[in-house]
Amino acid sequence: MKVSLLDITDDALYKIGFYSSVCYDSNVEREACIRRAKHVAQKGHLACLRFATATFKIEDISRVCSHQMVRSKHLDFLQRSQRYVEETDPKFVYPTSDTDSRVSALYQAAYTLYKDLLKEGIKREDARFVLPNGGTTELVVTGNFQAWLDFIKLRADKHAQWEIRDVAKEINNILSGHAPGLFNWMP
């Protein structure tokens, strides 16, 4: 799994605090704005966090994980297409509970069938039906800070599935470096 920050609102804490000053008829000096941004987040005025955004590229996660991600309705997604992109060099994610070679054998058999179907002239959009959910994919995901905070709180939780939890923790770590005081939530 690899998570890369592609874009983020410059000086996000200041901008959140500056924009939210209208709610409170407040001081717009830089340090006051930064304090306000942290304060509104701590007090639950999360609508203010919608005025900063971040975009990530997430690579080498399973389609199982990507299906969990796209359920976050306030984030927006672009995903590698198995309809338009031929899977010529498949990589797979293995469940942590896999203690034998059955999953690996199944993955390889499915990929062999996929290649055979393509050779027979079956369209990629139809051949992809045999590819396993453990095959890797990549996404570009964008959202405002409120949406990211919601995603992190839900998916970094100890009860979340291990792969999505790892993604959420990595996103939290990256965002906490850019907006300290907002993204320091960890289970």
Predicted structure pTM score: 0.93
In a domain, 32, yes or no: no
Catalytic entry in 36, 63, 128, 155:
155
In a domain, 75, yes or no: yes
Can you give the residue range of the structural domain that contains 86? 1-7+54-177
In a domain, 37, yes or no: no
As a whole number, the mean pLDDT across the chain is 94
**Euclidean distance between CA atoms 39 and 43, whole angstroms:** 6
The token pair at 131 is 């590819």
User: What's the CATH number where 115 sits?
Assistant: 3.30.1360.170
In a domain, 30, yes or no: no
In a domain, 29, yes or no: no
Candidates 94, 82, 72, 83; CA nearest to 151 is 72
In a domain, 113, yes or no: yes
The total of structural domains in the chain comes to: 1
% residues pLDDT > 90 (the chain): 84
- Checking if the pLDDT of 159 tops 80, the result is yes
Average pLDDT over residues 46-67: 97
**Euclidean distance between CA atoms 34 and 40, whole angstroms:** 10
DSSP code at position 119: H
Q: Is 155 among the residues known to form the active site?
A: yes
User: How confident is the model at residue 99, as a pLDDT?
Assistant: 67
- Checking if the pLDDT of 96 tops 90, the result is no
In a domain, 140, yes or no: yes
24 confidence band (pLDDT: 50, 70, 90): confident
Q: What is the pLDDT of residues 9-21, one digit of tens each?
A: 999 999 999 999 9
What residues contact residue 156 under an 8 Å CB cut-off, 6+ apart? 165, 168, 169, 172, 185, 186, 187
In a domain, 156, yes or no: yes
